[in-house]
Amino acid sequence: MVKFVKNNKSVISLTSMIMIFFSTHATLAQLNNPWEISVDSDMPDITTIKPNETGERRVPLLRKVQKIWDESLSGLPYNAFTDLIRFNDCWYCTFREGEVHEWSDAGGIRILKSKDGNVWKSVALLRWNEGDLRDPKFSITAEGQLMVNSAVIFKPPETPLYFKINSLVWLSPDGENWSSSYSCRTGINSWRWSVTWNKGLGFSLAYHGKDSKGTLYMTTDGKTWEVLAENIFPCGKGNEASIDFGENDKAYCLLRDGPGGMAHIGVAKPPYNDWKWTDLGMYAGGPEIKRLKDGRLLAVVRLHEGGLPPSATMPGLSSNLGGGRTSLCWIDPNKGLMKEFLTLPSGGHGGHSYAGIVEYEGMIWISYYSSHENTTEKQRPAIYLAKVKLDKKKNTSE
């Protein structure tokens, strides 16, 4: 059962307009000067300032942004679609290494490792002959293994606008030595885009092919998957989806390209077969949602106003890679609001966004890709790492 709520309230606030200005005119100023952001009356619980105060705060602050990878060890120039995790006291970053943003027959999964987050080295490259590996995502299994999930795309030459997708998983005990790929039969003609673990179980909301209307899968080991709920997208519309869990195992899902092309927030309680969806009124590409330790829902997305036209080369996806900006947003699932509060240095015609989020020692670490610094004709993207200091939440109740 799916419940759908239309939110007609405008979510473009003064803060959003300020962010748009700086993201297009002086984004790098954020690196040198503390951000001061006015109180947001729609979400008074996300700040330490009372709603009736007129002062400004000096957080969130973009502490540091560094380019951690701009190489092409395999000869493939397009680095994009990242994720980030901390595992066994080390940092790991993964991304797709391909020829172009769209499908090619040589896309691989690059895995980087760092002790301190400053110096990075490549420790693995996962490949699939004559297939394009897409959008790798990290997670840690119930048995404590590092897991990468992805999908391999096959595009028959006789039907160039049609492609086949199979979901895949790799496992590693140490982040450097990886298993062969696991391909469960339930992942054929389906894309389990991201995986989140909760109390020993892994969850993934799949799309494409037989799961084009949204199918929620569950696993105990990452190798075999079973269906929990089918047809759960609002009005049957959606694709990339990121899930996290709150108190009492309540699930929150940030969905791209729901009805009208807008992002939607979904909420469900166990057993996750009854979802309530709310239109957030904004386009959000590459959605990544994270429930912070204080209970707030943080998202990093590629934001656009007004949505995007469909892609001609990859049906079901959107075009205009370089438009918009990579932004941090608060999400209030009860009010159906998504509020932009910080813009990362991003842009360029080579694309940007597709972030990974880790909360660590009072800081938010974010991996993402962007082509804003590459001025060459093709604007090859690079991989970036941002560190953000957030304010404390005044009211920690959900």
Q: pLDDT, tens digit, for every residue of 178-220? A: 999 999 999 999 999 999 999 999 999 999 999 999 999 999 9
pLDDT mean over 332-341: 93
Q: In terms of pLDDT, which residue wins out, 318 or 138?
A: 138
Stretch 294-299: mean pLDDT:
96
Q: How confident is the model at residue 105 (pLDDT cuts 50, 70, 90)?
A: confident
Cβ contact 142:200 at 8 Å: yes
28: number of Cβ within 10 Å:
11
Using the predicted structure, report yes or no on whether residue 28 has a pLDDT greater than 80: no
Both structure tokens of 142: 């119930």
Q: For the residues 64-74, what does the mean pLDDT come to?
A: 89
Q: How far apart, in Å, do the first and last CA atoms of the chain sit?
A: 24
pLDDT of residue 94: 98
* Position 70 pLDDT exceeds 50: yes
Q: Please, are residues 398 and 246 in contact by the beta-carbon 8 Å criterion?
A: yes
Please give the CATH number for the structural domain made up of 2-389.
Answer: 2.120.10.10
Is the pLDDT confidence value at 40 over 60?
Answer: no
pLDDT band for position 374 (50/70/90)? confident
CB-CB contact of 19 with 291 (8 Å): no
Percent of the chain with pLDDT over 70: 76
CA distances from 141 to 146, 168, 312 (A): 7, 15, 37
Q: Which of 17-26, 124-133, 191-200 has the highest mean pLDDT?
A: 191-200
Confidence of residue 394 (pLDDT cuts 50, 70, 90): low
Q: How far is residue 61 CA from its own chain's centroid? A: 21
| pTM assigned to the model | 0.84
Q: How many CA atoms lie within 13 A of 199 on its CB side?
A: 8
Tell me if the bond preceding 381 is cis, omega within 30° of 0: no
What is the C-alpha separation between 302 and 320, in angstroms, rounded? Answer: 11
Q: How confident is the model at residue 377 (pLDDT cuts 50, 70, 90)?
A: low
Instruction: Give the mean pLDDT of 34-58.
Output: 44
Neighbours of 67 (CB within 10 A): 12
pLDDT of 8 strictly over 90: no
Has residue 330 got a pLDDT over 60?
yes
Q: Is the pLDDT reported for residue 382 higher than 80?
A: yes
For the cut 60, the answer to whether the pLDDT of residue 363 exceeds it is: yes
Exposed e or buried b for every residue in 340-362, given b needs 16+ CB within 10 A? bbbbbbbbbbbbbbbbbbbbeee
- What distance in Å separates the CA atoms of residue 190 and residue 145, rounded to the nearest whole number? 24
DSSP state for residue 362 in the 8-state scheme: T
Instruction: Name the least confident of 17-31, 254-268, 286-300.
Output: 17-31
**What pLDDT was estimated at residue 129?**
86
In contact, 375 and 74? CB cutoff 8 Å: no
| CA angle, residues 162, 166, 172, in degrees to nearest 5 | 145
Segment 123-133 mean pLDDT: 93
Q: How many residues does the chain have?
A: 398
Q: How far, CA to CA in Å, does 144 sit from each of 87, 175, 176, 222, 283?
A: 9, 11, 14, 11, 35
337-343 sheet: strands from edge to edge: 283-291, 297-304, 325-332, 337-343
| Residue 225 confidence (pLDDT) | 98
Task: Encode pLDDT of 246-290 as tens digits.
Answer: 999 999 999 999 999 999 999 999 999 999 999 999 999 999 999
If you average pLDDT over residues 340-366, what whole number do you get?
A: 93
pLDDT at 148 over 70: yes
- What backbone torsions phi and psi does residue 24 show, to the nearest 5 degrees? -105, -15
What H or E segment, with its residue span, contains residue 30? helix 29-32
Mean pLDDT along residues 9-17: 37
* Per-residue confidence (pLDDT) for residue 284, from 0 to 100: 93
The pLDDT-based confidence of 52 (bands split at 50, 70, 90) is very low
Give the CB-side neighbour count of residue 85, counting CA atoms within 13 A: 20
What pLDDT is attached to residue 373? 87
pLDDT at 26: 30
Check residue 25 and report its DSSP letter. H
Average pLDDT, the chain: 83
Per the CB < 8 A criterion, the answer to whether 291 and 252 are in contact is yes
What is the residue whose two structure tokens read 């036209």? 309
Mean pLDDT (whole number) for 14-25: 35
Give, in degrees to the nearest 5, the angle at Cα 261 between 260 and 262: 90
62 has a pLDDT exceeding 90: no
Cis status, amide bond into 60, omega within 30 of 0: yes
Best CA proximity match to 155, nearest among 337, 362, 315: 315
Contact status, residue 270 vs residue 246, Cβ threshold 8 Å? no
Q: Do 78 and 70 meet the contact criterion of CB atoms below 8 Å apart? A: no
In the prediction, which pLDDT does 55 show? 46
